[in-house]
Structure 1
Amino acid sequence: MFQLTIRDDLSEVIDYTSPNVPIRTVEGTLLHFPNKAAVCHWHSEVECIIALEGEMHYFVNEQVYRLAQGTGIVVNANRLHFGYAVNDRDCKFLVLLLHPSLLSGNAYLESHYINPLLYDANSDAILLSGEVAWHRQALHMIATLFQLGQQQPAHYEFQISIQFATLWLLLYEHTVAQYGSFQGTSAPSNHLKEMIGYIQKHYPKKISLHDIASAGLMSRSKCCRLFQQTLHQTPIEYLLHYRIQKSLSLLADDHLAITAIAEACGFNGASYYTEVFRKIMGISPSAYRKSRAL
C-alpha cells in the first residue's frame, strides 16, 4: 500500500528505493487514501507523476492541475502538493522522486542550468500531455527512470544520473530557456502552510475552527475561503480526513481497541470515530481491519 509519512512541518519522510542513488519509485492508487486524497506535503526531491489508469486532480502551490490517463506532471522541489480523486473515481499512478543532488557537482552548471529552473516561480509544476512532442519525450524518460529504479540492472546508478540530466535539460529548454527564470517566492501560502501544519501537529487534541484560523493569523471566514479555494475542503473536513488517515496505521495493530484508536486520533468516542470513518472510507473501522488481515 502507498503510504505517506509526514513530519510536523509538512515535509515527507522519503525512503529511497536504491541504497546508492537518491531515487524513489512507487506505484499507487488513490483508493488507498481516505476519501481518495493524499495528505498535503512537500519534499526536497523533484516529483514526477504519470496517471496510468483513470485520472486525478493534482494540487501544487495553490494551483490545481488535471491529470488524464497517460499524462503526467513534474512537481518542482519544495512545493506543497497532493493528488486527489476526480468525481470520487480511483486513479492508478506511478511516482518517481529524484533528488536534485544527482545533477550537482559543477558550480557553473548549477548556477546556469539547475538553480534557474529549480527556483523558478513559474515552474512549480510542468504538466505533460501526449499531444506535444517534447511532452511525450519527457514522459518516456520518466517511465525509463522509473523502470531503472525498480529493476536496478547493471550500472543503473549511472544510467539514472544520465537520464535525469537529460530530462532536466529537456525541461530547462522548454521553460526558463524560453521564458526566463522568475526568482520570486515559489513557496505556498505561508498562512495555509501554517494552518495545515497546526492541524497535522495537534490533530490528537481538541481543535476548533478558531484555533486553525489563529494559526494562520486570519479570521475564520477567510480561513474557510482559503481552504475551500485551494484544498476543496473546509478546515474541519481536512482535520477529520487527516485524523482518519492517521488512524489507518493504528488499525493494523489488532491489540489496539477501536476506542483507544479513536482517542489517540482526536475523536470524542468510538461511535463518532466509526461514523466519520464509515463516511470517508465507506466501511467501518472493524471491517477495514479485517480486510487488511485477508
Structure 2
Amino acid sequence: MQIIDIPISKDLQETTIHGDYAFPLAIYEDHLHSNLIGYVDLHWHDELQFSYVTKGAVEFVVNQKNYCISENQGIFINSGCLHMAKAIVDPDSTYICINVNAKLLSSFQGSIIDTAYVTPFIESECLPVILFEGTVPWQKDILSGLHRINFLYEKGEFAYELNILLEFTQVWLNIVTNMKDILQGTNKPSETNQNRLKTFLSFIQRNYRNKISLEDIASSANVSRGECCRLFRNTIQISPIEYLISYRINKSLYLLENSSMTVSQISDYVGFGSVSYFIERFRKQIGAPPKEFQRNLRNFK
C-alpha cells in the first residue's frame, strides 16, 4: 500500500494507525515520486520502523543525521525518532517500510522479554538507527527476514501473523545479540537539539498562515537566529525560511485539489503576501504553475 500524504499532528507525530490493536503492524511500498510532495516530510511515531530500498537510493534523515541507503540495503529507525526520507538522484526511488509496535515482540508487559530485551533497546538514546548492509552476515540475515515478512504480509495466507511474528522475533534477536554493547555506551546524544527542532517545526505548522520572520522561528525555542539556521541546515539542508515556504506550498496542494478557492485566495490563505511570488515558488518546487497542477489532478481523476 502506498501513502501519498502522511497525516502529521502539530507536534509532528504521524497519526496514521499502523495495523490494529490485534496485530499492530503495517507494511507500505513507498514510491517517493508518488508522494504528494515528492518526499516523506519530518515526523515521528511510536512504532519501530524497518525499511529496505528496492529501487534507486534514499536519504533518510534521523535525529539530525543523514543516512544514504542504496538498493538492497536497509535501516532501522527507533521509536520516537524524528525522521524524513527523500530520493537521491532517481525521483522514483522506492523502499518497503515496515512499521510495527514493540508490543508485538514483548509477549506481555512486565515479561522478561519486555524488560530485558525490548524496552531497554527502544528507550535507549544510543540506538536511534541501525544500518543493514548486505556485506555483514547478521545484517544480511535481517534483510532476508524483512523480505520474508513482506512476502508473508502480501500473501496473507492462513496463520501469516504467526509466521510474521516468528520472523520478527528472529530479526529482533539478531539486533539484541549484535547491539547489546551499545546500551552500555556512555556518550549519549543530547536530546536538546532534537527538541528544539520539533519546537521550530511545530511553531511553523501552527503559524504558517501568518507573517513569520527568522527571528520569530528562533524565538520559539529561545535560541539565536544563527543557531536556528544551523539546526535546520544540519538536519534538512535548507534554511528555516525555505522550510516555511516549502510547508506553505505543501499546504496549497491540498487546497488546489480539494477546494474551490482561486489561486489568489489560496496564496493569501497559506501565508504568501504576493500571488506572483506564490506562483514562482510553486513552479520551482512542484515543476508546474498552480493552475496546470490543478488541471492535471482533475484530468487524472
Which residue is 1:73 aligned to? Answer: 75
Among candidates 167, 172, 177, match of residue 176 of structure 2:
172
Report whether the alignment pairs 1:112 with 2:109. no
Contact 1:119/1:186 (CA < 8 Å) preserved in 2?
A: no
TM-aligned CA distance change 1:193 to 1:19, over 3 Å: closer
> Once the 2 structures are TM-superposed, how far is the Cα of residue 250 of structure 1 from its aligned partner?
2.1
Among candidates 7, 15, 28, match of residue 17 of structure 2:
15
Contact 1:39/1:242 (CA < 8 Å) preserved in 2?
A: no
What CA distance in whole angstroms lies between the structure 2 residues aligned with 1:162 and 1:196?
Answer: 39
Using the TM superposition, name which of 144-153 and 126-135 deviates more.
Answer: 144-153
What CA distance in whole angstroms lies between the structure 2 residues aligned with 1:34 and 1:236?
Answer: 21
Which residue is 2:260 aligned to? Answer: 255
What CA distance in whole angstroms lies between the structure 1 residues aligned with 2:261 and 2:219?
Answer: 34
What CA distance in whole angstroms lies between the structure 2 residues aligned with 1:203 and 1:161?
Answer: 43
Which residue is 2:94 aligned to? Answer: 92
Among candidates 197, 201, 207, match of residue 202 of structure 1:
207
- Identical residues among aligned pairs (%): 30
Output the amino acid matched with 2:275: A
Output the amino acid matched with 1:194: T
Q: Within 5 A, what are the aligned runs for 1:175-186?
A: 175-176=179-180, 178-182=181-185, 184=188
What CA distance in whole angstroms lies between the structure 1 residues aligned with 2:91 and 2:113?
Answer: 43
- Unaligned 5+ runs, structure 2: none
TM-score, normalising length: structure 2: 0.89
What CA distance in whole angstroms lies between the structure 1 residues aligned with 2:98 and 2:135?
Answer: 22
Deviations 1:208-251 (A, max 9, x none): 11110001211111211221122101001111112222222222
Among candidates 287, 292, 296, match of residue 291 of structure 1:
296
What CA distance in whole angstroms lies between the structure 1 residues aligned with 2:37 and 2:253?
Answer: 13
> Once the 2 structures are TM-superposed, how far is the Cα of residue 59 of structure 1 from its aligned partner?
0.7
Among candidates 227, 232, 240, match of residue 235 of structure 1:
240
Using the TM superposition, name which of 260-269 and 279-288 deviates more.
Answer: 260-269
TM-aligned CA distance change 1:88 to 1:219, over 3 Å: farther
TM-aligned CA distance change 1:240 to 1:161, over 3 Å: same
C-alpha RMSD of matched pairs (Å): 2.2
Which residue is 1:30 aligned to? Answer: 32
Among candidates 222, 228, 231, match of residue 223 of structure 1:
228
Output the amino acid matched with 2:145: M
Deviations 1:94-137 (A, max 9, x none): 21100111122052211110012112222101111111111111
Report whether the alignment pairs 1:154 with 2:170. no
> Once the 2 structures are TM-superposed, how far is the Cα of residue 46 of structure 1 from its aligned partner?
0.5
Using the TM superposition, name which of 161-170 and 255-264 deviates more.
Answer: 255-264
What CA distance in whole angstroms lies between the structure 2 residues aligned with 1:134 and 1:156?
Answer: 24
- Unaligned 5+ runs, structure 1: none
Contact 1:36/1:90 (CA < 8 Å) preserved in 2?
A: no
TM-score, normalising length: structure 1: 0.91
Q: Which has the higher contact order (CA 8 A, sep 6+)?
A: 1
SS of alignment partner, residue 83 of structure 1: strand
Contact 1:55/1:90 (CA < 8 Å) preserved in 2?
A: no
SS of alignment partner, residue 180 of structure 1: helix
TM-aligned CA distance change 1:35 to 1:48, over 3 Å: same
Using the TM superposition, name which of 116-125 and 244-253 deviates more.
Answer: 244-253
What CA distance in whole angstroms lies between the structure 2 residues aligned with 1:141 and 1:44?
Answer: 22
